[in-house]
Amino acid sequence: MDKLVIEGGKPLSGTIRIQGAKNAALPILAASILADGVVQLDNVPQLLDIEVMLQILRRLGCNAVQDGRTVTLDTTGTRSAHVPEDLMRQMRSSIFLMGPLLARFKEVHIYQPGGCAIGERKIDLHLRGLQALGAELEQCGGRVTCRAERLVGTDVHLDFPSVGATENIMMAAVLAEGTTVLTNAAREPEIVDLQNFLNQMGANIIGAGTDTITIEGVNQLIGKRYEIIPDRIVAGTLMIAAAATRGAVTLTNAHAGHLTSLIHILRRAGVQIATSDGIINVTCFGRPRAVERIVTSPYPAFPTDLQSQLMVMLSLCDGFSVMKETIFEGRFKHVEELARMGADIRVDLSTAFIKGVTRLYGATVEATDLRAGAALVIAGLAAQGRTVIEQVHHIDRGYDQIEHIFSRLGARIERYSPVSRLDFANG
């Protein structure tokens, strides 16, 4: 298992281009199954999760190739509606294949993705939405089979604005007979990206980005070329890292409009943010001020995917902050690791009470999930001394060579891969 070694205490400085959005690319790759012909996607990040999705598509019979940041998919050969269990367990986001496979084959076989480090990750909202469109469910152990003679548009209301359920229902409805109106839909920018991709291929969807999405069923989608939006969570991670190290960083290919909640919080903390078309400048002179209360909520509110990263900056602020996590029930696993570095954070159920300290100290810590791992990198960059981060594969799921990203901003960060016996034998 790879490790990252960081010599902290150096302010970040420089310019970095933001990668394409993982959470837009994954549903869009799944949605490619709905189209006849070839789909070409640009600005696709090179990540473990993307490679797993491409492996699943190949196992389903698609021809899927990633060359740099471009993915070319020919789904003509898609023959199977059975999502492989071993790959399903590797990546929860394979649940996005339910809607497209049901729409194309009128049946789909998946496995309950199960919980992960951040929470239970139920799929009841996905299943109820597909049932509303006409699917019949069979559940046997962890295996779920959906079948539908026909998919017929209808009104679907989500009890909670689930991102994945919104996307799955959109994809199942796009070739259904008639109109589907999805209410209490999630409003994330990645859902707008999925709508724009599907419409470019001939779908008829309006309302993504609001809480009501209307999908008029069409007969066919034709594969097209499409560019994925920038990754707002990677951009937010780098903005927070610039603030936590009291640096000055410029982000390019960055969409400030997707980060208004974070920009508002950083400005309240005294961080200087300047934005223009595709550019975000972050400058932090001196110690940021504490922010008294932050609550994670569905977009456009402050995103749960930046909660652990921001907590690192808050643990270095001057004063006392409170962070409440309302989306996932287990997303504070980074707190224990930060405490090993000198952070003063007390957790009571879903609320963290953060007392700012003047510095963090390097330590050996473990990444427990994707965003907690990114938070530990920020902590290592800001800390005095050396930090070793283990279980780095969690971070590689969402950040394209994170050590290169931060090296380009002046950080002293190295990746160490265990020397395999063969390498050792070869000297």
Nearest to 214 by CA among 204, 200, 227: 204
- Count of residues that bind ligand EPZ according to CB under 6 A: 24
Kindly state whether residue 191 participates in binding ligand EPZ, applying the rule CB under 6 A. Answer: no
Kindly state whether residue 26 participates in binding ligand EPZ, applying the rule CB under 6 A. Answer: yes
204-206 and 179-183 beta bridge pairing: unpaired
- The total number of residues shown for the chain amounts to 427
Q: In whole angstroms, what separates CA 13 from the centre of its chain? A: 25
CB of 374 to ligand EPZ, least distance (A): 9
Query: Between helices 22-31 and 98-105, what is the axis angle to 10°?
Result: 10
Kindly state whether residue 123 participates in binding ligand EPZ, applying the rule CB under 6 A. Answer: yes
CA distance 206 to 399: 31
Question: Taken in order 209, 211, 215, 221, is the CA torsion positive or negative?
Answer: positive
CA distance 402 to 423: 24
Active-site hit among 116, 140, 284, 317: 116
Kindly state whether residue 370 participates in binding ligand EPZ, applying the rule CB under 6 A. Answer: yes
CB atoms within 10 A of CB 385: 15
Largest Cα separation within the chain, whole Å, is: 66
Nearest to 371 by CA among 426, 290, 310, 418: 310
| Residue number with CB closer to ligand EPZ (186 or 205) | 186
CB of 114 to ligand EPZ, least distance (A): 12
CA distance 95 to 110: 8
Q: What residue number has its CB nearest to ligand EPZ? A: 164
CB of 317 to ligand EPZ, least distance (A): 24
Of 31-39, 132-140, 160-168, 382-390, which part binds ligand EPZ (CB under 6 A)? 160-168
Contact predicate 178/152, CB 8 Å: yes
| Residue number with CB closer to ligand EPZ (127 or 314) | 127
The sheet with strand 351-355 has its strands ordered as: 293-295, 320-324, 351-355, 344-348
| Torsions phi, psi for 198 (to 5 deg) | -65, -40
Chosen residue from 104, 126, 246, 255 binding ligand EPZ by CB under 6 A: 126
CB of 90 to ligand EPZ, least distance (A): 13
Find the DSSP H helices in 209-315. 232-244, 260-268, 307-314
Determine whether 116 is an active site residue. Answer: yes
| Residue number with CB closer to ligand EPZ (78 or 93) | 93
Chosen residue from 15, 42, 86, 120 binding ligand EPZ by CB under 6 A: 120
Of 116-124, 177-185, 212-220, 404-412, which part binds ligand EPZ (CB under 6 A)? 116-124
Query: 130: number of CA atoms within 13 Å, CB side?
Result: 33
Chosen residue from 9, 14, 37, 119 binding ligand EPZ by CB under 6 A: 119
Contact predicate 290/318, CB 8 Å: yes
Kindly state whether residue 164 participates in binding ligand EPZ, applying the rule CB under 6 A. Answer: yes
Chosen residue from 10, 59, 89, 122 binding ligand EPZ by CB under 6 A: 122
CB of 121 to ligand EPZ, least distance (A): 5
| Residue number with CB closer to ligand EPZ (163 or 402) | 163
| Residue number with CB closer to ligand EPZ (165 or 205) | 165
CA distance 157 to 393: 37
Q: Binding mask 376-415 vs ligand EPZ (x if CB under 6 A, - otherwise)?
A: ----------------------x-----------------
CA distance 335 to 49: 25
CB of 162 to ligand EPZ, least distance (A): 3
Of 54-62, 120-128, 169-177, 313-321, which part binds ligand EPZ (CB under 6 A)? 120-128
Nearest to 59 by CA among 92, 118, 101: 101
Kindly state whether residue 163 participates in binding ligand EPZ, applying the rule CB under 6 A. Answer: yes
Residues 28-57 contacting ligand EPZ, CB under 6 A? none
Residues of this chain that interact with ligand EPZ (CB under 6 A) are 23, 26, 93, 119-126, 160, 162-165, 186, 304-305, 327-328, 370-371, 398
Tell me which residues are annotated as active site: 116
